[in-house]
Amino acid sequence: MLITLATDRARVAEIQTQLFALGETEALTPIELEDEQATAQKRLDSYKYPILTLPNEITSEIFLQFLPQYPELPILDNAIGPTHSYPNYHSPVRLTHICRKWRAVAIATPALWKGLFVSDTHIKPKFVGRAALIDMWLSRSGSCPLSISVFGLTGGPPDHLQKIWSAILPYRTRWHDINFVLHFKPGSLPTLVSPMPALRSLHLMLVSDSHSPTAFASCEMPQLREAVLISNSTLLNVELSLPWAQLTSLSLLYVTPGITFGILKKTPLLVSCTLGFLRLEGPLQYSGPDLGLPSLTSLVFQRDHVDDVAGILNSFVVPALHRLEIPEPCLGSGPVESLKQFISKSGSTLRELIITCREGSLHSSRITDERYRAACPSVQHFSSDFLPDDQGDSSGTLCGTQETQSNESDAEDSEQEAESDTEDTEEEQSDSDGSENEHGNSGSEQELE
């Protein structure tokens, strides 16, 4: 059947070429050719492709498997398929360009449109119409909770950011996971005052050259549980009024100890916390009262911020702490003693300890992993990123070191699998690039029309 279809398609195209050539020289075209063309076309039109006979519900489920797996989101301007930089980012817009039925099914499947990633690296060449495309995309999401990531938006016309906001803000009652990384100018950042009843996760990095205070969020967020705030010195000038008391996960990066502790005092339900203090001259100090976080089980200090935090570490009282990740330089001049004092004061039963940034640390040559283990006898899982010559591969594993030969064998197997995966990926990428060249860059423009 497929061979017959291919033959009919080729014959229809051939006859069309012949009729066109004859039409330039003959007043009348042979009736036989027209009849043959009509017959072949009728056979093509009557054929039912098996994929198009599936129920719409099954087709919709297949379409959902086409999208990147959460938390990855479809890229707005990636309508023609994966790019070299983002090989796994498929777009539902591409499904609307296959045939009439697929377009109707895709548009009628709200779950296809509930995630969106907008980046200035993808929209700079074509700023016109982006806001309209965002609004069209989100309008197809029905009543689904929305996951939206907006990154950059530093270029374009002066009112570009406002237009993007005007397309996104009307859907804020359905915001579920939001990630905003924005470089804004004075007056271009709106104040969010309307309720966001579905918002559970907020990742926010605001960058501005302005030193005047800017209000960003002062509204009801009853479901908010996770917040990631990256200051880059801007959080000092942005007034954030979040429901701190209901958060269970919080990350504060590039923030001074004063602001950090001021926020943490309002988070009694916090379970997971990641901190990266704004780099200052000398050790970090905190002179306020102890900070009690009775529900905190995981505390992480970012390895990119390796200031001495021993002066503030002992201000934490975290009796439920099970996991601690901290760069060795953050523990000050006596890392083992600082660690023992911290655990003793909190009375916590630490189960997992990760010491990072040991390579090149002033203490790495004289403090072995065994000393850390001895200082924390309750720890069941210990790791560090320092491999001294006399310890070989024994460092950085779980307590109760595994056999070296087994590790080496696993490593060899992993390398072989990685080589095989790399070859497969290169072949797939080559096919994808070929598809992109075939379709061109017209996807988004056609969709706007």
- pLDDT per residue over 204-233, tens digit each? 887 666 555 555 666 789 999 999 988 755
Tokens of 170: 């009307």
Q: Give burial (CB, 10 Å; 0-12/13-18/19+) of 344.
A: exposed
Q: Going by C-beta distance under 8 Å and a sequence separation of 6 or more, which residues neighbour residue 254?
A: 230, 231, 232, 233, 235, 276, 277, 278, 305
Q: 357-370: per-residue pLDDT in tens?
A: 766 555 555 677 78
User: How sure is the predictor about 371, in pLDDT bands with cuts at 50, 70 and 90?
Assistant: confident
Q: Which residues pair with 153 in a beta bridge?
A: none
For residues 177 and 71, give the distance between their C-alpha atoms in angstroms, rounded to a whole number.
9
Q: 62-116: per-residue pLDDT in tens?
A: 999 988 888 788 887 654 445 555 555 678 988 898 889 999 999 999 999 999 9
Three-state DSSP state, 413: helix
User: How sure is the predictor about 318, in pLDDT bands with cuts at 50, 70 and 90?
Assistant: very high
pLDDT at 235 over 70: no
Taking all residues of the chain, what is their mean pLDDT, rounded to a whole number? 74
For residues 318 and 302, give the distance between their C-alpha atoms in angstroms, rounded to a whole number.
18
| Higher per-residue confidence, 118 vs 364 | 118
pLDDT at 27 over 80: no
Q: 127-184: per-residue pLDDT in tens?
A: 557 788 899 999 999 999 999 998 865 555 556 777 888 889 899 999 999 998 876 6
Give Cα separations from 63 to 57, 66, 135 (angstroms): 10, 5, 21
Q: Going by C-beta distance under 8 Å and a sequence separation of 6 or more, which residues neighbour residue 69?
A: none
- Residue that has been written with the tokens 């929305």 in this structure: 146
Mean pLDDT for the stretch of residues 33-48: 79
For residue 289, the model assigns a pLDDT of 84
For residues 115 and 149, give the distance between their C-alpha atoms in angstroms, rounded to a whole number.
8
For residue 29, the model assigns a pLDDT of 59
For residues 97 and 443, give the distance between their C-alpha atoms in angstroms, rounded to a whole number.
8
For residue 447, the model assigns a pLDDT of 44
For residue 383, the model assigns a pLDDT of 86
Q: pTM, whole model, 2 decimals?
A: 0.70
pLDDT at 315 over 50: yes
- Looking at 32-36, 182-186, 379-383, 432-436, which range is the least confident one? 432-436
pLDDT at 406 over 50: no
Instruction: Assess contact for 161 and 184: CB atoms under 8 A.
Output: yes
